[in-house]
Amino acid sequence: MHRLFKWLLPILLFSPSTFSQDWIRTGTGLGVEKVRLAVPDFKASTQDAKNTDLLKVFNDTLWNDLDNAGIFDMVSKSFYPLGPVGSPPDVKFEAWSAPPPNAAMLAFGNLGASGNTLTVQGWLYDAKNVTSPQVLGKQYQDAATTDAARAIAHKFADEIIFRLGGGIQGIAESKIYFVSSRSGRKEIWAMDYDGANQHALTHVGSISLSPRVSPDGSRIAFSSLTRTGWDILMYSVDVGRLVAFPRFGGTNLSPAWSPDGTKLAFSSSRGGDPEIYVVDQSGSNLKRLTSFKGPDVSPAWNRKTGAQMAWVSGRSGLPQIYTMEADGTNPQRLTEEGYAVSPAWSPNGQFLVFSWIRHYGPGAPGAQDIYIMDIASKQWVQLTHDGGRNDFPYWSPDGRHIIFQSSRSGSEQIWTMLADGTNQKQLSFAGSNTQPNWSWK
Amino acid sequence: MKQRKLKWITLVFVLGAIMMLGACKKKVAPPPPPAPPAPTAPTASLTANPNTIEKGQSTTLTWQTTNATDVSIDGIGAVDPNGSQSVTPADSTTYHLTAKGAGGTQDATARVTVTAAAAPPPTSSATEEELFSQNVKDIFFDYDKSDIRSDQQSALQGDAGFLKQHSNIVFTIEGHCDERGSTEYNLALGDSRANSVRTALVQSGIGGDHIKTISYGKEKPFCTQSNEQCWQQNRRGHFVYQK
Amino acid sequence: MATAEIFFEHERWSRNLAWSLGLHVAVAGLILLYAVVGPSSHGAGWGAGGGGDAIGVTLVNTIPLPAPAVQTENVLANESKGLTQSLPKVEEKEKEPEAIPIPDKDVKPKKAPKETSTKRQKPQPEPVEANNIVPFGQGGPVSGPYGTFSAGEAKGGFGFTGGGGDFGTRYGWYVRVVQQKVQQSWLTYDVDRRITEAPRVYLTFDVLRDGRPSNVQVEQSSGIPSLDQSAIRAIQRIDTFGPLPSDYSGNKVSVEFWFDYKR
């Protein structure tokens, strides 16, 4: 009997992988079960002429935010019962909870401009619970502009996602920072998480790379080519310009904030060879963490604990990904082959996403794709397959999405996808856009 | 009786003619060796202008000769009887011109004093920069490597030699990478490459304070084709003369 | 070694097991052939933590979402006698609002671990004894304290207790969130791979005001420590379910889960 089981054990270990799909989905919180959510267009509550445009922006934004969240099965509008729904008395429960809509939850409300003020009322209802359906009831007021309508839609969507997503904040109000060359020089730009509202932040006029926003969203650290070489520069989002930060000498690259915002890790060659250093967020107390021969670059803190760091080292030849404690001890190698760069740690602390050329060598190197690795077990899953060079992946704050840069469209652009590799969408189109960084909330 | 007198006259005439002929013949005999109409010795003059220069600068030798058919200057060779030439002596030199003519040989000298260069005056740094770009060769690297390849050692030594000779020169080594590979890692790799060249030069005796290094990663490529030739072109440590 | 004990303890299973083993051997033989002939993939270190090389695990894109389907049963639609018997009793209790927040542990049915392996999702007659668990109203994918789900190779069910007894009725959406999070949290590779099926394990835990789970307890063990542990870890792994509904007056709510495991 025992012998039989020992023989069976290796067999069981080889069993193929619907399992892995479970693992990646459960680990990233996707695809397990999706709540069927119906979101009819909000109704106009006033007679103002501005309502048409405001409603269009609001409804489109709300729908996209909820659809993008990765946790809802959006009920197609073609199944909705007729008749607008603007407030609780309009809700006919049976019509919504029965087929064809078969909705579990219903989000509805009304919107109206009155003079220069916009008022929005929104509800989230449990469509199966006639006696006490209300989960959320909210009212918002702002200026009667499309930007405000968009912002309110983001807020309302995030409320719904927070309640139905089990306490994880939605990303509809989050921002993405990236490098764009469309003005002629590589500068740091910003945009909404869905690609709207792309605008330049810096005007250094040189080559600026590797933007990283601080956890509280107030500052962006980046690396720029100054007259003395590559330096870490600091842009203040609050005052809209560069603020002072020390120069360290040598080539200083790839800044990374600790999750509590008190420290900045980066790569510096001030001592000759590029190594990983840590400094206080004010720029003082510089400490060196690594002392490997070969380039050490691209540090990434453990976002959950701040107690560890991943980084890229060329100490063994081609760059590989390593982890170490936040004080530099206990380096561990994670990748064994190929060319692995650009690690980013997931918000739940469990995964690294990175860019990997698994088959690398003279002649034509293989494809460069985005991979996720479970740090504890070193199991990895490949997320992109569609060609082009895919690099600089970064997690959304809810851990359900990943942004990255890809050259598959012919030029380098920012793309987004769910953390299981599905739903890949292009966010930028003009010029060359690289190195995206997602805000922390 | 008249016939006897005629014979005597003829004989006298013949003898006289013979004597005269012989005398004439003596006249036609080989002319005297080529001597100037006024058989004068050659002249030669040689000047250097300026006759004091700093090391690395040039001066112009100007000479004139007369009555000379064969003119040469030591260190230059045969020259026209009159002419000028620019020279760049590395050390103080006395130029020696020899003019040979019918009247003899004439020498002329001109001394050029070379002083050690302090700061090279602007007019001569252009030449120095040209010399720099002609003589200091970029160092090329292998894939993902920042150590100096064996086939680059001679280029490196040549660079070191020139730079030691022109120890006043200040320059920058730029580290570059090819387009493949990731932006951040390539910047760090370019840094390693620039550093590697710098270390090798310092070990050869070049003053470290004359050498600046900077990495450009793949941000400033020399060519943009996607093939191995272009990629190799971009994997280099590039020397830039600092004015 | 644990394997051996299982076999010795449950000798009456030997015949079933022999059949099961026979089938397993046949299938395993085929798998072994495939493993030898097909592409190699290391399965080292499942649940054993780090060490060893990075392992490739391929997403099979053609498998439609979502991977483990959630099956929930509407208690009222079920025709088992046990249910129809118990239901009327429970309905009566609905009229007398009982606010017994803490499930009475002694009252739990003594489900002997000798349950047969035919584990369908028949809610057990436990609600008869646990008179503080109140069923939901009609309809909904999650209904009753006997809401059920499947997570990979496991099936589970749960009930909400406490808070005036009507938590599940009023806050079906919250119940669904809890169910989803526990389901996706139970990463079944924690369980010893040699186990092909195991009896039910019952767990209880509280959800505090801010949504944190606490006080995870094994009500009744499955008899297999690794299965118990994996169930406990499933709950402990969760940071928050989201704050309790704002208009809910209680400070916490209690949840009871059971897990079945079968591969």
pLDDT for C234: 82
Range of the domain at A237: 175-438
Q: Is the pLDDT of residue C212 over 60?
A: yes
Q: Which of B92, B115, B138 is the last residue of a domain?
A: B115
Residue B230 in any domain: the answer is yes
Residues in a beta bridge with A266: A277
Q: Do B184 and A230 touch (CB under 8 A)?
A: no
Q: What are the chain A neighbours of C32 within 8 Å (beta carbons)?
A: 10-11, 14
Q: What is the CATH number of the domain that holds A157?
A: 3.40.50.10070
Kindly state whether C88 is in contact with chain A, defined as any CB-CB distance less than 8 angstroms.
no
pLDDT in tens, A107-166: 999 999 999 999 999 999 999 889 889 999 999 999 999 999 999 999 999 999 999 988
pLDDT for C12: 59
Confidence of residue C76 (pLDDT cuts 50, 70, 90): very low
Residue A348 in any domain: the answer is yes
pLDDT for A21: 54
Which residue of A2, A6, A9, A21 is the best one to mutate when testing the C interface, meaning the one whose CB has the most C CBs within 10 A? Answer: A21
| Secondary structure (DSSP) of A358-387 | SS--SSS---BEEEEEETTT-EEEE---SS
Q: Strand order in B59-66's β-sheet?
A: B43-49, B59-66, B83-87
Q: Do B185 and A341 touch (CB under 8 A)?
A: yes
Residues B1, B58 within the same domain: no
Q: Comparing C-alpha atoms, which of A38, A29, A300 is closest to residue A170? A: A29
Which residue of C17, C21, C57, C175 is the best one to mutate when testing the A interface, meaning the one whose CB has the most A CBs within 10 A? Answer: C57
Please compute the mean of the pLDDT values over residues B183-210 and round it to a whole number.
92
CA pair distance A420, C183, nearest whole angstrom? 18
Percent helix, percent strand, percent coil in chain B, to nearest 5: 35, 30, 35
| Tokens standing for residue C202 | 């019952």
Q: Do A318 and B189 touch (CB under 8 A)?
A: no
Kindly state whether C35 is in contact with chain A, defined as any CB-CB distance less than 8 angstroms.
yes
Q: Is the pLDDT of residue B37 over 60?
A: no
Where is A236: in which H helix or E strand?
strand A229-236
Kindly state whether B219 is in contact with chain A, defined as any CB-CB distance less than 8 angstroms.
yes
Residue whose pair of structure tokens reads 């099936």 in the numeric block = C155
Residue A21 in any domain: the answer is no
pLDDT for B57: 84
CA atoms within 13 A on the CB side of C145: 30
pLDDT in tens, A59-112: 999 999 999 998 899 999 999 999 899 999 999 999 999 999 999 999 999 999
The residue with greater pLDDT, C39 or C24, is: C24
* Lowest mean pLDDT, pick from A103-107, A431-435, C211-215, C225-229: C225-229
The residue with greater pLDDT, B83 or B120, is: B83
The residue with greater pLDDT, C73 or A417, is: A417
Residues A216, A77 within the same domain: no
Kindly state whether B191 is in contact with chain A, defined as any CB-CB distance less than 8 angstroms.
yes
pLDDT in tens, C103-139: 444 444 444 434 343 434 343 333 332 323 322 222 2
| Secondary structure (DSSP) of A405-440 | EE-TTSS-EEEEEETTS-S-EE---SS-EEEEEE--
Residues A371, A407 within the same domain: yes
pLDDT for C176: 83
* Lowest mean pLDDT, pick from A288-297, A320-329, C220-229: C220-229
pLDDT for C74: 37
Q: Is the pLDDT of residue C187 over 50?
A: yes
Kindly identify which residue of chain B lies nearest to residue A435, measuring between CA atoms.
Answer: B183
Q: Do C180 and A166 touch (CB under 8 A)?
A: yes
Residues B24, B131 within the same domain: no
Where is B131: in which H helix or E strand?
helix B122-135
DSSP class of residue A77 equals G
The residue with greater pLDDT, C66 or B76, is: B76
Range of the domain at B55: 43-115
Partner A, chain B 171-190, Cβ-Cβ below 8 Å: 180-185, 187-189
Mean pLDDT value across chain B: 83
Kindly state whether A391 is in contact with chain B, defined as any CB-CB distance less than 8 angstroms.
yes
Residue B35 in any domain: the answer is no
Q: What is the CATH number of the domain that holds A371?
A: 2.120.10.30
Beta strand C213-220 with C197-208: parallel, antiparallel or unpaired?
A: antiparallel
pLDDT for A306: 95
Q: Is the pLDDT of residue B35 over 60?
A: no
pLDDT for B1: 53
Orientation of helix B183-203 relative to helix B153-165, angle to 10°: 60
Instruction: Report pTM.
Output: 0.69
CA pair distance B225, B230, nearest whole angstrom? 6
Q: What are the chain A neighbours of B146 within 8 Å (beta carbons)?
A: 295
pLDDT in tens, B132-191: 888 899 999 998 888 999 999 999 999 999 999 888 899 999 999 998 889 999 999 999
Residue A199 in any domain: the answer is yes
- Report how many Cβ contacts below 8 Å link chain A to chain B: 79
Confidence of residue B126 (pLDDT cuts 50, 70, 90): low
Q: What are the chain C neighbours of A334 within 8 Å (beta carbons)?
A: 54
ipTM confidence: 0.88
Number of domains composing chain A: 2
- Rg of chain A over Cα atoms, rounded to whole angstroms, equals 24
| Tokens standing for residue B181 | 């590979």
CA pair distance A172, A169, nearest whole angstrom? 9
Number of domains composing chain B: 3
Q: What are the chain C neighbours of A381 within 8 Å (beta carbons)?
A: 56-59
Residues A327, A375 within the same domain: yes
Chains contacting chain A through 3 or more C-beta pairs under 8 A: B, C
Among the partner-chain residues A274, A342, A435, the one whose CB lies closest to the CB of B188 is: A274
Distances in whole angstroms, Cα of residue A224 to Cα of each of A211, A317, A412, B229: 10, 27, 20, 30
Confidence of residue C23 (pLDDT cuts 50, 70, 90): confident
Kindly state whether B214 is in contact with chain A, defined as any CB-CB distance less than 8 angstroms.
yes
- What residues contact C193, with CB distance under 8 A and at least 6 apart? A9, A12, A13, C46, C47
Query: Would you tell me how many other CB atoms lie within 10 Å of the CB of residue A194?
Result: 19
* Lowest mean pLDDT, pick from A33-42, B228-237, C50-59: C50-59
Partner A, chain C 93-132, Cβ-Cβ below 8 Å: none
Q: Is the pLDDT of residue A196 over 50?
A: yes
Q: Do A336 and C54 touch (CB under 8 A)?
A: yes
Residue B37 in any domain: the answer is no
Q: Comparing C-alpha atoms, which of A109, A105, A104, A101 is closest to residue A84? A: A109
pLDDT for C106: 42
CA-based nearest distance C114→chain A, Å:
21
Kindly state whether A273 is in contact with chain B, defined as any CB-CB distance less than 8 angstroms.
yes
pLDDT for A10: 41
Residues B230, B158 within the same domain: yes
Q: Is the dihedral of CA C209, C214, C219, C222 positive or negative?
A: positive
The answer to whether A378 touches A23, Cβ cutoff 8 Å, is no
Q: What are the chain C neighbours of A167 within 8 Å (beta carbons)?
A: 211, 239-243
Residues B67, B99 within the same domain: yes
Among the partner-chain residues A10, A128, A373, the one whose CB lies closest to the CB of C172 is: A128
Q: Is the pLDDT of residue A27 over 90?
A: no
Which amino acid belongs to residue A248?
F
Percent of chain C past pLDDT 90, that is, above it, reads 6
